[in-house]
Amino acid sequence: MIAALLLAAATPSALDAEAAFAADARRLGQWTAFRKYADRDAVMFSPQAVWAREFLQDRKDPPKSIGWRASDSFVSCDGRTAVNTGPWFNSKGKLAGYFTTVWQRKGASWRWVFDGGIPSPVSRGGAKTAQVHRASCTPRAKGPPVAPPPPLTRKQALTTPEDNGRGESADKTLGWDWKVTPKGARTLRVFLWKNGRYAEVIHKVDPAP
């Protein structure tokens, strides 16, 4: 038991992974860092859903990376899945919008499975000290708002008229879903199990470009 507790305490959090990801983007190059931390089945948007492994495969790093930092982290009860969100900044350091990254942990390593940014003209940059919101570990009600997503084929990910996907943590205390319209508008929702119910903790809409 003591060994397990020590191991859990030594395991990096999703916030640690996010900070390392952002630091490597500056140090190694923007797309190099995206490739380094991406899960094999990670999804990103351009503006339709694309497999990250294909979108990033031959993409050259820009001269200077964008920057970002998490202001909130929504974590499943078991601590193995997290959704981080916060401001992102352009290559000149000016606030450009807000990002959301979904992370999953395998062993001691974190990999992102969803990444999406929303441009925004707002001036506030979010809390500088990230706030962690942990799901309740009490038994959940039947009928969660989301279910595990069916795997997308390469053709579906690239050409489905209305792309959409869903996911949840293994313990079903954290879930998310997303949808992209044919014109590229994107909606993301995140649900966290709290106080005997699912609370919608993120609802972001990115207008069509």
- State the pLDDT confidence band at 127, using cuts at 50, 70 and 90: low
| Mean pLDDT value of segment 97-113 | 95
Output phi, psi for 159, to 5 deg: -130, 0
Cis status, amide bond into 207, omega within 30 of 0: no
Q: Provide the pLDDT for residue 162.
A: 76
Q: Does pLDDT of 111 surpass 90?
A: yes
SS3 138: coil
In whole angstroms, give the CA distance from residue 84 to residue 71: 8
User: Which pLDDT score is estimated for 3?
Assistant: 43
- Where do the domains of the chain lie? 12-206
Q: Report the candidate in 180, 194, 70 with the shortest Cα–Cα distance to residue 134.
A: 194
**Residue 196's pLDDT band (cuts 50, 70, 90):** confident
Mean pLDDT for 18-42 is: 97
* Helix (H), strand (E) at residue 76: none
pLDDT, position 208: 87
Strand partners, 176: 167, 190
The reported pLDDT for the residue numbered 141 is 56
In degrees and rounded to multiples of 5, residue 16 shows phi and psi of -60, -45
Q: What is d(CA 196, CA 78) in angstroms, rounded to the nearest whole number?
A: 16
**CATH top-level class for 12-206?**
alpha beta
Please report the pLDDT score of residue 10 as a whole number: 65
Does pTM top 0.85 for this prediction?
yes
- What average pLDDT score do residues 9-28 get? 93
